[in-house]
């Protein structure tokens, strides 16, 4: 059965039908609606341009192109990928809209990883946009031709498309919740600070395991990194216009190859991960996305408006990031034995210097300092084998990469809008694991635990094709209730009060409010190890 929708001033689109997982509820799906012109040739690296009117009914019943990503494969991947998917269970209603920004390190991901079959059990409408990835979306030469941040501009244009057109699919443009995970949460959080985002675009936000000040989300040397990628592309030239022309005409696989050449070179240095570019957001420049750096915004007024917010992270965020460090620095790590050296190297690689020097919130910095002192006592630092303090190292990795940035965004929002701010800690360890899915766990001296990305297993039925077991299914239903309740009412649950520094929402096999110090979440693995409750 087809679903045909006419979008005034654009044209007609034909979708298809699918069903929800638990009740076989009908879902009208439109999988490949173009919201921008193809960003190829002289439009490569430039801000997106909205699509114009079409005459014939366009078939969007099947998935379109995936955005060219780090795999550099040609089958189904293309630069012509600026589309979005709309999933609606009632084309005649005005249901609240959930607008999901996917993660993937800003160099992978897309619509195909986030099907609607769990979320559409509830009366919401789901939109999943694609945005340009890697150097195609983030490369900056600090010029109007290559301004950087065009991936963020893609997302903003998709939000505008929702405002203009979602009512024709059964969505309410006045009730939009932006939510994202990992890199998607970094981008979502940063939207709160951008002058390009109109107040009408969204009023609620869910941050899952990513914050606006996550060190790995920002390119602090965009021009220098852009020139280096141009050099690896054999596009180096004293004339910047010739560099731009060369990069615009470069085969996309060669562009990705140059990006990896740059990344490999900077990762060869201990602190290099924080000086990599080509797949990160930038401050200032010609894009207009964020004229001032987000750290200055955090130190001053915070977001320009009050948002209803739900934010949180997984229990063992650090394992996923630690895995990537072990992978990219395996030769260096092989030569490290004692704890002091390992902690010093990891702190530098993870970005400890960015955390402790940021003066936006003394309470957050003080809490991190106390957590660090608790984890790395004199006795722990003098341990000759760092593997004896892996729990402390996992906490360190998670705190710097995710937990401190997410807490920072939440606490600023909580100060501005205390009645509508909720914080959660995701602590359910189910049958499946995102960590185990993405790696061979036996290669590492630590287990994944409740890792970065585990919450996605219960929001989107993509990563595992087999049905969830009965307990995992119930947990998934609980999480869907919590996320959609927030999108519909601004409250994740009747029995869940707003969060403060002394209470938050604990997600295990049950969801409940707990009256505990929120900063204790910085030392979760350490505390469990020392209490013998692992």
* Residue range 182-202, pLDDT digits in tens: 999 999 999 999 999 999 999
Residue 148 included in any domain: yes
Q: How confident is the model at residue 468 (pLDDT cuts 50, 70, 90)?
A: very high
Going by C-alpha positions, the residue among 38, 27, 31, 25 that lies closest to residue 13 is 31
**Residues 6 or more apart from 470 whose CB is under 8 A from it?**
none
Q: Is 514 helix (H, G, I), strand (E, B) or coil?
A: strand
Whether the CB-CB separation of 309 and 417 falls below 8 Å is answered with yes
Q: Is 14 helix (H, G, I), strand (E, B) or coil?
A: strand
Do 443 and 362 lie in a common domain? yes
The pTM for the full model equals 0.96
What pLDDT score does 12 carry?
97
What pLDDT score does 237 carry?
93
Do 226 and 155 lie in a common domain? no
Q: How confident is the model at residue 91 (pLDDT cuts 50, 70, 90)?
A: very high
What pLDDT score does 231 carry?
96
Q: Partners of 410 in the beta sheet?
A: none
Q: Final residue of a domain: which of 276, 295, 314?
A: 295
Do 26 and 99 lie in a common domain? yes
Do 476 and 411 lie in a common domain? yes
Mean pLDDT along residues 444-472:
90
Q: How confident is the model at residue 276 (pLDDT cuts 50, 70, 90)?
A: confident
Residue 432 included in any domain: yes
Q: How confident is the model at residue 344 (pLDDT cuts 50, 70, 90)?
A: confident
Write the CA distances from 161 to 35, 52, 173, integer angstroms. 7, 12, 10
Structure tokens at 376: 């790395």
Whether the CB-CB separation of 87 and 29 falls below 8 Å is answered with yes
Q: How confident is the model at residue 40 (pLDDT cuts 50, 70, 90)?
A: very high
Residue 276 included in any domain: no
- HSE-CB for 312 with a 13 A CA cutoff: 27
Domain hosting residue 517, numbered range: 306-529
CATH number, domain with residue 200 = 3.40.50.1820
Measured in whole angstroms, how far is the alpha carbon of residue 416 from the centre of its chain? 23
Whether the CB-CB separation of 137 and 74 falls below 8 Å is answered with no
Mean pLDDT along residues 35-47:
96
CA-to-CA distance for 355 and 127, rounded, in angstroms? 34
Do 233 and 192 lie in a common domain? no
Query: Given its phi and psi angles, is residue 95 left (phi above 0), alpha (psi -120 to 50 degrees) or beta?
Result: beta
**Residues 6 or more apart from 180 whose CB is under 8 A from it?**
100, 101, 102, 103, 186, 187, 188, 206, 207, 208, 210
Q: Is 50 helix (H, G, I), strand (E, B) or coil?
A: strand
CA-to-CA distance for 506 and 196, rounded, in angstroms? 35
What pLDDT score does 301 carry?
60
Alpha helices in 166-283 (DSSP H): 183-191, 222-232, 240-249, 252-267
Do 31 and 166 lie in a common domain? yes
Do 15 and 160 lie in a common domain? yes
The length of the chain is 534
Residue 275 included in any domain: no
Q: How confident is the model at residue 298 (pLDDT cuts 50, 70, 90)?
A: low
Do 290 and 322 lie in a common domain? no
Mean pLDDT rounded to a whole number for the chain: 91
* Residue range 197-253, pLDDT digits in tens: 999 999 999 999 999 988 889 998 999 999 999 999 999 999 999 999 999 999 999
CA-to-CA distance for 129 and 158, rounded, in angstroms? 7
What pLDDT score does 304 carry?
65
Residue 279 included in any domain: no
Residue 534 included in any domain: no
Whether the CB-CB separation of 244 and 46 falls below 8 Å is answered with no
CA-to-CA distance for 301 and 316, rounded, in angstroms? 31
Percent of the chain with pLDDT over 90: 75
Do 203 and 327 lie in a common domain? no
Alpha helices in 303-338 (DSSP H): 318-328, 330-334
What pLDDT score does 249 carry?
96
The total number of structural domains that make up the chain = 3
Structure tokens at 105: 């390190």
Q: How confident is the model at residue 74 (pLDDT cuts 50, 70, 90)?
A: low
What pLDDT score does 352 carry?
62
Q: How confident is the model at residue 477 (pLDDT cuts 50, 70, 90)?
A: very high
Residue 273 included in any domain: no
Say what angle helices 183-191 and 404-416 make with each other, to 10 degrees. 30
Residue 340 class from Cβ within 10 Å (0-12 exposed, 13-18 middle, 19+ buried)? middle
Do 21 and 152 lie in a common domain? yes
Whether the CB-CB separation of 177 and 99 falls below 8 Å is answered with yes
Q: Partners of 27 in the beta sheet?
A: 18
Measured in whole angstroms, how far is the alpha carbon of residue 133 from the centre of its chain? 13
Going by C-alpha positions, the residue among 365, 362, 334 that lies closest to residue 352 is 365
Structure tokens at 10: 């654009």
Give the other-Cβ count within 10 Å of 302's Cβ.
23
Do 382 and 291 lie in a common domain? no
CA-to-CA distance for 393 and 343, rounded, in angstroms? 7
Rounded to the nearest 5°, which phi and psi values hold at 210?
Answer: -170, 140
Residue 281 included in any domain: no
Going by C-alpha positions, the residue among 370, 360, 371 that lies closest to residue 408 is 360
Do 214 and 226 lie in a common domain? no
């Amino acid at each position: 059965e087809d679903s045909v929708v006419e979008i005034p001033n654009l044209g007609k689109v034909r979708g298809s039908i699918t069903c929800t997982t638990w009740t076989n509820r009908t879902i009208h799906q439109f999988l490949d609606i173009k919201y921008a012109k193809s960003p190829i040739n002289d439009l490569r690296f430039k801000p997106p341009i909205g699509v114009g009117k079409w005459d014939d009914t366009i078939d969007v019943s099947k998935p379109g192109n995936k955005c060219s990503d780090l795999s550099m494969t040609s089958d189904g991947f293309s630069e012509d990928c600026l589309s979005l998917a709309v999933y609606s269970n009632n084309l005649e209603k005005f249901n609240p809209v959930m607008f999901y920004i996917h993660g993937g390190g800003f160099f992978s991901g897309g619509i195909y990883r986030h099907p609607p079959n769990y979320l559409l059990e509830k009366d919401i409408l789901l939109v999943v946009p694609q945005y340009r990835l890697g150097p195609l979306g983030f490369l900056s030469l600090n010029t109007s031709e290559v301004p950087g941040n065009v991936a963020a501009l893609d997302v903003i244009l998709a939000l505008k498309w929702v405002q203009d057109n979602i009512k024709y699919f059964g969505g309410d443009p006045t009730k939009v919740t932006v939510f994202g995970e990992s890199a998607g949460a970094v981008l979502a959080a940063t939207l709160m600070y951008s002058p390009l985002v109109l107040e009408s675009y969204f009023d609620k936000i869910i941050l899952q395991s990513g914050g606006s000040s996550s060190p790995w989300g920002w390119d602090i040397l965009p021009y220098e990194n852009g020139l280096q990628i141009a050099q690896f592309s054999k596009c180096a030239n004293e004339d910047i216009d010739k560099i731009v022309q060369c990069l615009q005409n470069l085969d996309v696989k060669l562009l990705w190859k140059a990006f990896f050449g740059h990344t490999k070179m900077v990762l060869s240095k201990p602190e290099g991960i924080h000086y990599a570019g080509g797949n990160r957001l930038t401050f200032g420049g010609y894009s207009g996305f964020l004229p001032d750096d987000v750290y200055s915004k955090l130190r001053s007024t915070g977001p320009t408006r009050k948002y209803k917010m739900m934010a949180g992270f997984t229990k063992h965020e650090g394992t996923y990031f630690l895995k990537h460090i072990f992978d990219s620095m395996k030769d260096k790590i092989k030569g490290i034995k004692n704890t002091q050296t390992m902690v010093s190297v990891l702190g530098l690689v993870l970005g400890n210097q960015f955390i402790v020097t940021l003066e936006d919130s003394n309470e957050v910095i003080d809490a991190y300092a106390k957590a660090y002192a608790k984890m790395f006592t004199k006795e722990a630092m003098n341990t000759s084998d760092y593997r004896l303090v892996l729990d402390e190292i996992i906490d360190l990795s998670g705190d710097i990469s995710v937990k401190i940035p997410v807490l920072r965004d939440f606490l600023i929002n909580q100060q501005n809008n205390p009645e509508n701010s909720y914080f959660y800690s995701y602590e359910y360890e189910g049958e499946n694991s995102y960590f185990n899915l993405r790696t061979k766990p036996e290669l590492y001296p630590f287990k994944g635990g409740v890792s970065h990305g585990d919450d996605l297993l219960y929001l989107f039925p993509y990563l595992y094709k087999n049905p969830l077991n009965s307990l995992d299914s119930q947990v998934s239903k609980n999480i869907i209730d919590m996320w959609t309740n927030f999108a519909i009412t601004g409250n994740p649950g009747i029995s869940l009060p707003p969060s403060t520094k002394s209470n938050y929402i604990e997600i295990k096999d049950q969801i409940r409010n707990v009256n505990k110090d929120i900063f204790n979440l910085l030392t979760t693995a350490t505390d469990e190890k020392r209490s013998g409750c692992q």
